[in-house]
Amino acid sequence: MDILEKITRDKRREVDLKKSLLPISQLESSVLFGRETVSLANALRNSTSGIIAEHKRRSPSKSVINQSLNVQDVARGYENAGVCGMSVLTDQKYFGGSLDDLVLARASVNMPLLRKEFMIDEYQILEAKAHGADVILLIAGILTQNEIKTLSQLAQSLGLDVLLEVHNEEELHKSIMPSLDMLGVNNRNLKTFEVSLDTSKTLSNLIPEEFVKVSESGISSVDAITELKEYGYQGFLIGENFMKTDDPGGSATIFINEIIT
């Protein structure tokens, strides 16, 4: 069993428990549920940097990354840096995040917020909307084609953008459908944790032009972004590179200034 299978198994148990504790009607009555969302896809199309900065305390591959900063300061730092959007990890067991992080970030900034989570149930889409997300992540590796369709259509009906993440050509072919806004290529092999930008380069020509192309994982230099832009990528998800510093917002500012100058 690889890490993705293990996380998904635990996530199903977690969601079943949440459903028994907090009914959908309560999610739908949340103050944030009726909030008008902001499109990350549009922000990326109109950006010169394309940076989506992440708040991530730890990960299965790197253990602790940064647990000393609060999410509000990180969010404000990223917004001041001029990022296109912020990815907020809400998985607690493996990444040390929570839905509270999403709410705190939402209260601190106006930019698009991505709920980065292992989505396997419609309930989680409603949770995302109720806690202030603008975008949800779907991971092709843990979902069937029908599940991707059902979850993405629900998200779009709620005004949420959909970022679909793939790791290989097989996942990409089963995933392409009109109810997606962005197609993300994860450069990390989740079986070995090895990272290679060649994954993004190889799959780039297979992604239809109507989708915003996003490259994820292993992006730590301006040169890498310059290279990936030549393959049509408009979005670049960066977490560890900023979060491993004492001032993620300051690090993002320096990084973005290098891109646009």
As annotated, the active-site residues are 54, 56, 116, 165, 186, 216-217
DSSP result, 80-131? HHT-SEEEEE--STTT---HHHHHHHHHH--S-EEEE----SHHHHHHHHHT
Beta carbons within 10 angstroms of residue 11's beta carbon: 20
Beta carbons within 10 angstroms of residue 85's beta carbon: 30
Return d(Cα 261, Cα 154) in angstroms, integer.
40
- Residue 122 has phi, psi (to 5 degrees) of -60, -30
Query: 91: number of CA atoms within 13 Å, CB side?
Result: 20
Residues contacting 170, CB < 8 A, separation 6+ = none
